[in-house]
Amino acid sequence: MTQAPATALFDVDNYIAINEARWTIADKVIKALRHSGMVLDTAYDFGAGPGWFARRLNHSKLDVLALEGRHDVAEAGRARAPNCEFDVLDFDNCATSEALPPRDFALSFGILYHLENPLRALRMMGEMTGKAMLLETMVVPGDDFIARVARENPNETQGIQPLAMILSRAALERGMWAAGFSHVYECTLPVEHDDFRDLKARHPRRGIWLLTREAVSIDGFEALKIEEPRRDDYWRK
């Protein structure tokens, strides 16, 4: 019996559908940033998988370094996106001192909610982002600064560790502050996938944010004011 390749689950219909919806937004952002005068020549693809986004970033005239946590998946990416460089980097098992030199643009799609320590990873991603990062992640509903520990499914599309931490929007935004981004914008454009929609029986599961070093104005992205977090008295009765 032939064993399915490590990348087989990346190619099922539901993964392709959400990737198409994500890329529609990413393509608009890259074009809008360039139209605003921002020079984008180099890019990271964080949590690249077998190269679905890396190949499209390269087609957008970006020199791409794709970072993936699993050796076999990275090897598949090299075959699928031969014009991109692939390297292995597990954000849960590296020190922030291992941050690579900044590139102009970074894509962080579908990785943060698979990590044990998304806040540390976000800080490291910030060090590696020269001008702008487009980030998509799952979020816990609610207005408080909280996170939820979730069990990861044991397959190549999920996190390497058995547990992951999913942040609320407020907690995620504080993480963006800690990562050193001067300007944060939340996507208000419709994303053509139910995970981004407020449904009758379910809160939106995902959101998209643009994080930049300098102020930009892009249709469909709302500027957020993120202040330095202050510790409240959580234990007061």
Percent of the chain exceeding pLDDT 70 equals: 97
The answer, yes or no, to whether residue 4 has pLDDT greater than 60, is: no
Q: Which residues contact 52 (CB under 8 A, 6 or more apart)?
A: 10, 19, 80
Give mean pLDDT, residues 87-106.
94
Measured over the CA atoms of residue 209, residue 205, residue 70 and residue 78, the dihedral's sign is negative
- Does a structural domain hold residue 177? yes
Domain total of the chain = 1
When pLDDT is cut at 50, 70 and 90, the band that residue 21 belongs to is very high
Instruction: Kindly report, residue by residue over 98-147, the tens digit of the pLDDT.
Output: 999 999 999 999 999 999 999 999 999 999 999 999 999 999 999 889 99
The answer, yes or no, to whether residue 230 has pLDDT greater than 80, is: no
pLDDT of 158: 87
- Does a structural domain hold residue 2? no
Which one is predicted more confidently, 181 or 237?
181
The answer, yes or no, to whether residue 11 has pLDDT greater than 70, is: yes
Instruction: Kindly report, residue by residue over 179-195, the tens digit of the pLDDT.
Output: 999 899 999 999 999 99
The H-or-E segment that residue 172 falls in is helix 169-178
- Does a structural domain hold residue 231? no
Give mean pLDDT, residues 9-23.
91
- Does a structural domain hold residue 116? yes
- Does a structural domain hold residue 237? no
Q: 134 phi and psi, to 5 degrees?
A: -105, 120
Give the chain's length: 237
- Is 196 in contact with 115 (CB distance < 8 Å)? no
Which CATH number covers residue 65?
3.40.50.150
Q: How far apart are CA 111 and CA 90, in angstroms?
A: 11
Q: Residue 120 to residues 103, 109, 115: CA-CA distances in angstroms? A: 19, 16, 10
Beta strands in the chain (DSSP E): 42-46, 63-68, 85-88, 103-109, 129-138, 147-151, 163-167, 183-187, 206-212, 221-224
- Does a structural domain hold residue 106? yes
- Does a structural domain hold residue 101? yes
- Does a structural domain hold residue 236? no
60 lies in which domain range? 8-224
The answer, yes or no, to whether residue 229 has pLDDT greater than 80, is: no
Buried residues in 186-204 as b, exposed as e (16+ CB within 10 A): ebeeebebebbeeeeeeeb
